[in-house]
Amino acid sequence: MQGFFEWFQVGWDKIWGWMPALMESTAVTLELTAASVSTAVVLGVFLALGKINKNGVIRRLSAAYIFFFRGTPLMLQLYFVYYTLPDILHKLFDGSSLEFIATGPLSMQSRFFAAFLAFSLNIAAYLAEIIRAAIQSIPKGQMEAARSLGLTYGQGMRLIVIPQAYRRMMPPVCNEFVMVLKDTSLVAIIALMDLTFQTKQIAALRSSELVYIPAMIIYLILSGVFTLIFNKLEKKLAAHE
Amino acid sequence: MVMVQTEDLCKSFGELHVLRDVSVTVQQGEVICIIGPSGAGKSTFLRSLNQLETINSGKIFIEEQLLLHRENNATIARAGKDDFKSLLLQMGMVFQSFNLFPHKTVLENITLAPQQVKNTPKAQANELAGVLLEKVGLAEKAGEYPSRLSGGQQQRVAIARALAMEPKIMLFDEPTSALDPELVGDVLAVMKQLAAEGMTMLVVSHEMGFAREVADKVLFMADGIVAEEGPPEVLFTNPQNPRTRQFLNSVLPQ
Ligand SMILES: Nc1ncnc2c1ncn2[C@@H]1O[C@H](COP(=O)(O)OP(=O)(O)OP(=O)(O)O)[C@@H](O)[C@H]1O
Ligand SMILES: [Mg+2]
């Protein structure tokens, strides 16, 4: 018992020394989450529009995309984007006029970019269904009114339907954001210095297992704060209806 | 000038034949009321005119120009891309359920289409909207959101919104049937004024008073055909078709 308190005391004192490193990696986690979710929302809107498109080919392509990204493990998608994709691009484009594709961020073995890409593509597949449901929940009369005024289908979607659907998809998208915040810890497998990987490094190198505690507290605070912000935001949007 | 002409319009939803050879001619400035039992195809007819539904076969002319000719569910001929668009813009539509854009103010509802479709400068679109709101008696509501208006006010905004595209033909699909009885009068008053100004109008409505007072011609539709047509005073008082008589008996207070 005496030994435990001593061990804890010593470890706890060290926590403040780890703080700068933990903060830095927290920023990576936040950036990755924000960048991935916002990109996924845009991509998800296009996938949702694809799924309700009149053109059967576009509909099937969107469905296939969603099926693929929901039907394979995110971990493998991450490995694929980080390890396999650069090779493929080099084989395809090296020496050609499209070489910039192979030498761009995809091939730089940028861990952040690979994680960002894999997460965006994956989250988009999950958000697409939510966004499709939100778009289809807008009464048909809205698009009909837009069309009868001479707007194109695209204008009707962009100016009338999607802005209204946007309010309805806010709650599930915010929910997804908080989920992704924690799911990004998966990037440890490609050694991106996010909060989880940093914590693991500290634990291993400095042999201080206590570091898991502040790491979890940071995740908790982030989840709590964002949940709070999003709840406020939803109330504001709802009041506007 | 003939503003709208249809020849043998047919439309079916699967096995259900909703329009069967509907041929109608509307002269400039005419007000046509379309009546008939539920499911007769009245809405489908209006919606086929402005292409919210695609006909299976038949011809549609707007201002004596061919808009669309289809046979056996295939397009035989249609106006060129630009003509098609501008002919469609000759028709404005007012819906039973108003369909105002709830995330836009009254003013924005009215100015959106002119700005987006005709590239009308904002100042000019606002000015036109002001004139139209004045006309429908809602000048003071420009800044409100639709949810804050009564049904009758919403429908008058919807009329102003359609008029902002400066159409020559107005299609009304039961514009007052979603309204509380005490709000119907204001909307009908706006429609009467439009008729008096010479607007060509196709009105699906069971407001017999309006039809009697304003309509040049009443069409009675049943089972996808125009079963009888004539001036209101003749059709209402001396209907020839037994279906018309039966229908009128069911809707007119005895
Ligand atoms: N999109 C659709 N898909 C399938 N059936 C439809 C569709 N739209 C209309 N119908 C059917 O077509 C028939 C005619 O409908 P329509 O709305 O034109 O009738 P209406 O004369 O306007 O009737 P009401 O007075 O009830 O408005 C109805 O039986 C209706 O159920
Ligand atoms: Mg109808």
A142 contacts B99? CB cut-off 8 A: yes
User: Which residues make beta-bridge pairs with B225?
Assistant: B222
A163 contacts B95? CB cut-off 8 A: no
- pLDDT value at position A97? 73
Which residues does A148 contact at the CB level (< 8 Å), separation at least 6? B50, B52, B91, B92, B93, B162
Residue A109 pLDDT level (bands cut at 50, 70, 90): low
- Inter-residue contact B203 to B31 (CB < 8 Å): yes
Chain A hits for B112, CB-CB cut-off 8 Å, are 149, 151, 159
B95 contacts A145? CB cut-off 8 A: yes
Of B93, B102, B103, the CB nearest to A148: B93
- pLDDT value at position A240? 58
pLDDT digits (tens, 9 = 90+) for A149-204: 999 999 999 999 999 998 888 888 999 999 999 999 999 988 888 899 999 988 88
Residue of A241 and A102 predicted with greater confidence: A102
Would you state the structure tokens that stand for residue B136, as one six-digit string? Answer: 């429908």
Residue A13 has pLDDT above 80, yes or no: no
B50 contacts A150? CB cut-off 8 A: no
- Inter-residue contact A177 to A229 (CB < 8 Å): no
Atom 5 in ligand 1: which residue has the minimum CA distance?
Answer: B13
Atom 4 in ligand 1: which residue has the minimum CA distance?
Answer: B13
Would you state the structure tokens that stand for residue B133, as one six-digit string? Answer: 């709101």
The fourth-level CATH superfamily of domain A17-238 is MetI-like (1.10.3720.10)
Would you state the structure tokens that stand for residue A230, as one six-digit string? Answer: 């999003």
- pLDDT value at position B112? 97
- pLDDT value at position B157? 97
Residue A92 has pLDDT above 90, yes or no: no
Atom nearest to B40 CA in ligand 1: 21
- pLDDT value at position A12? 76
CA B11 to ligand 2 centroid distance, Å: 15
Chain B hits for A164, CB-CB cut-off 8 Å, are 101-103
Q: Is the CB of B39 under 6 A from ligand 1?
A: yes
Chain B hits for A160, CB-CB cut-off 8 Å, are 101
At B198, the amino acid letter reads: G
Atom 1 in ligand 1: which residue has the minimum CA distance?
Answer: B13
Chain B hits for A167, CB-CB cut-off 8 Å, are 103
pLDDT digits (tens, 9 = 90+) for B45-69: 999 999 999 999 999 999 999 999 9
Mean pLDDT of chain A: 89
pLDDT digits (tens, 9 = 90+) for A28-54: 999 999 999 999 999 999 999 999 998
Q: Domain residue spans in chain A?
A: 17-238
Atom 10 in ligand 1: which residue has the minimum CA distance?
Answer: B13
Distance, in Å, from the CA atom of B50 to the CA atom of A169, rounded to the nearest integer, reads: 32
Residue A105 pLDDT level (bands cut at 50, 70, 90): low
Distance, in Å, from the CA atom of A137 to the CA atom of A76, rounded to the nearest integer, reads: 34
Interface of A with B (CB under 8 A): 139, 141-142, 144-151, 155, 159-160, 163-164, 167, 241
Which residues does A29 contact at the CB level (< 8 Å), separation at least 6? A181, A184, A185, A194, A195, A196, A222
Chain B hits for A140, CB-CB cut-off 8 Å, are none
Residues in chain B where the model's pLDDT stays below 50 = none
Q: Compute the count of residue pairs across chains A and B with CB atoms less than 8 Å apart.
A: 56
- Inter-residue contact B89 to B165 (CB < 8 Å): yes
Atom 30 in ligand 1: which residue has the minimum CA distance?
Answer: B39
Among A138, A140, A143, A149, the strongest candidate for a mutation testing the B interface, having the largest count of B CBs within 10 A, is: A149
Q: What is the value of ipTM here, to two decimals?
A: 0.94
pLDDT digits (tens, 9 = 90+) for A211-239: 888 899 999 999 999 999 998 988 887 76
A159 contacts B99? CB cut-off 8 A: no
Distance, in Å, from the CA atom of B95 to the CA atom of B118, rounded to the nearest integer, reads: 22
Distance, in Å, from the CA atom of B234 to the CA atom of B214, rounded to the nearest integer, reads: 14
Residue A107 has pLDDT above 70, yes or no: no
Rounding to the nearest 10 degrees, give the CA dihedral for residues A76, A77, A80, A82.
-110
pTM listed for this prediction: 0.87
Of A147, A160, A167, the CB nearest to B101: A160
